[in-house]
Amino acid sequence: MSLPEAPRFVLTVSSNKGGVGKTTLSANLAIYLRALREELPILLVGLDDQGSLDRMFSIQPREPGAKNLKHGWAERSLAGVIQLGEYGIHFVPSPPDVALLKARAEDPHILRAILARTAWPGVVILDTKSDLEALTLNAFHAADRILVPVADWASLEEAGKTFRTLENARLDLERARVVLTLVDRRTRGGEEGLPLAHLLQDEIERRGWPLYATALSRSPRVEALNSASGRPLSILHQARGTAVHRELRELAEEILGDLGLGERLPLPPRGGGAGWSEAPEADAGEEGAELGAETTPARRSWAAELLGGVLRRL
Ligand SMILES: Nc1ncnc2c1ncn2[C@@H]1O[C@H](COP(=O)(O)OP(=O)(O)OP(=O)(O)O)[C@@H](O)[C@H]1O
Ligand SMILES: [Mg+2]
């Protein structure tokens, strides 16, 4: 019996350092990728037991005994545990604790095989726990791209451990990419008082690690979206006009280009589909001004693009 086709792309988000924005990046990247490429279904899988992805995406309150990642792992396919969530994102409910799962993940190739059998037709995003243990190793082996968030010198050193782990596992280092996160443009360091983000960038280049050009700003708005209520909220839907909104869109486009999916499709209608809006929010808030952010440039509507295409062909 031949195995079904593997998912088109698997992105793993990983850092051995806690609190560098892995889950925020995974969840919001899912939403931006979905908005930019409506034809590409996105599946989010959290390999930890914090439940933040469930809180953000679940539409129904969780039923006792509902299936989660643990069941998918046992069934060797996620097909029976995937749920459609908010923002048109599919997700796999997290297990209440990952200790059992970890014990069943000693072979680092299991998740890759599970994803191959699941045959998800679009992008799978794996959000990992802040460790380099069995589940994270499985996520490395399954990944086409490994996004390594770096927010400061400590997480930069931890990124070094990720690269060494990949090397030890004989995985191609080229599949990993550093993403600067939680960047506060006002923080300076070094003898010359240069912006921290520049110093980190120089060091990453010196070490020869691939780096996405787009850095994500630290934003009080994002902090509030994540923590002001029990349900974290989407940056795309709630923080339009801010620097971090623009950056996430750029990063999503950079990743699509990196995966060979750079061709732009017409945008969904305003207010429709996955919720992409062409115009910045009226009150972009102080953050944009504070960080010197530009607002999202106005773009032609999808209808205008289509019409333009038709007219050009006539
Ligand atoms: N761009 C941002 N601006 C401001 N705060 C942010 C940003 N991104 C994440 N945060 C905040 O930083 C904290 C850690 O974020 P998050 O949970 O995404 O990190 P993590 O790496 O997944 O953490 P863990 O290691 O616990 O899984 C949270 O309080 C979150 O709200
Ligand atoms: Mg997390």
Q: Region 93-117: what's the mean pLDDT?
A: 95
Residue 298, token pair as written in the block: 């106005």
Check: CB of residue 306 under 8 Å from CB of residue 266: yes
Structure confidence by residue, pLDDT tens digits, 199-214? 999 999 999 999 999 9
Asked if residue 216 has its Cβ within 6 Å of ligand 1, the reply is yes
Residue 54 clears pLDDT 60, i.e. is over it: yes
pLDDT of residue 5: 54
Asked if residue 23 has its Cβ within 6 Å of ligand 1, the reply is yes
Alpha-carbon span 160 to 167, nearest angstrom: 11
Q: What is the DSSP string of 15-68?
A: -SSTTSSHHHHHHHHHHHHHHH-TTS-EEEEE-SSS-HHHHHH-SSPPPTT---
pLDDT of residue 24: 98
Of all protein residues, whose CA lies closest to atom 9 belonging to ligand 1?
A: 21
Distance 128 CA to ligand 2 centre (A): 7
Alpha-carbon span 2 to 292, nearest angstrom: 54
Q: Region 82-100: what's the mean pLDDT?
A: 95
pLDDT of residue 264: 56
**Rounded (10°) angle between helices 134-142 and 153-168:** 70
Asked if residue 19 has its Cβ within 6 Å of ligand 1, the reply is yes
Residues with CB under 5 A from ligand 2 (ion): 22-23
Nearest ligand to the CA of 29 is: 1
Helix (H) or strand (E) holding 10: strand 9-13
User: In order of start, what are the domains of the chain with their CATH numbers?
Assistant: 9-313 (3.40.50.300)
**Ligand 1 atom closest to Cα of residue 181:** 1
**Ligand 1 atom closest to Cα of residue 48:** 27
**pTM of the model as a whole:** 0.84
**Ligand 1 atom closest to Cα of residue 226:** 31
Confidence grade of residue 283 (pLDDT, cut at 50, 70, 90): very low
170: left (phi > 0), else alpha (psi -120 to 50), else beta?
Answer: left
Alpha-carbon span 147 to 14, nearest angstrom: 6
Asked if residue 288 has its Cβ within 6 Å of ligand 1, the reply is no
Asked if residue 136 has its Cβ within 6 Å of ligand 1, the reply is no
Alpha-carbon span 291 to 16, nearest angstrom: 29
Alpha-carbon span 171 to 175, nearest angstrom: 8
Nearest ligand to the CA of 218 is: 1
Structure confidence by residue, pLDDT tens digits, 129-162? 999 999 999 999 999 999 999 999 999 999 999 9
Residue 305 clears pLDDT 70, i.e. is over it: no
Residue 272 clears pLDDT 80, i.e. is over it: no
Helix (H, G, I), strand (E, B) or coil at 72: helix
Confidence grade of residue 189 (pLDDT, cut at 50, 70, 90): confident
